[in-house]
Amino acid sequence: MPTRSQYALMSKKDKNTVIFVSFVSAVIFFDFLIYLYIADIVSAAIFPANNDPTVAKLQGMGLFVIGYLARPFGGILFGRYGDLKGRKPTFS
C-alpha cells in the first residue's frame, strides 16, 4: 500500500516514470514520423507505374498503416511467446 493519500499529487518517482515512458514512446514512433515526412518520395519509388498522384499517395499511406498496425500485433505475439519460452528463444 502506498504511504501517501490517494488524493495526493504524484510522487517524484511517478513523475520520472511518466517522463521516461513519454520519452521512450517518442523515440519508438520517431521512425513513423520520418516516414510520413518522406511518404511522397517512398510511394513514387515503390509504386512508379501509377500515374495518378492521389492513388500513389494512398498506396504510400497504406504502407504506413500496415507498419503502424503490425507493431502492436507483433508485440502481442512475441510477448506471449517470450512469456512461455523465454527471452533467448524469442530473440533467436
Q: Which tens digit of pLDDT belongs to each residue from 6-31?
A: 667 778 888 899 999 899 888 888 88
Contact criterion met (CB below 8 Å) for 61 and 39: yes
Amino acid symbol at 35: Y
Residue whose C-alpha cell reads 510511394 in the numeric block: 43
Separation of alpha carbons 65 and 70, rounded Å? 8
pTM: 0.55
Residue 74 scores a pLDDT above 80: yes
The x, y and z cell numbers of residue 27, run together, are 523515440
Q: How many CB atoms neighbour CB 58 within 10 A?
A: 13
C-alpha distances out from residue 92 to 69, 75, 79, Å: 23, 15, 14
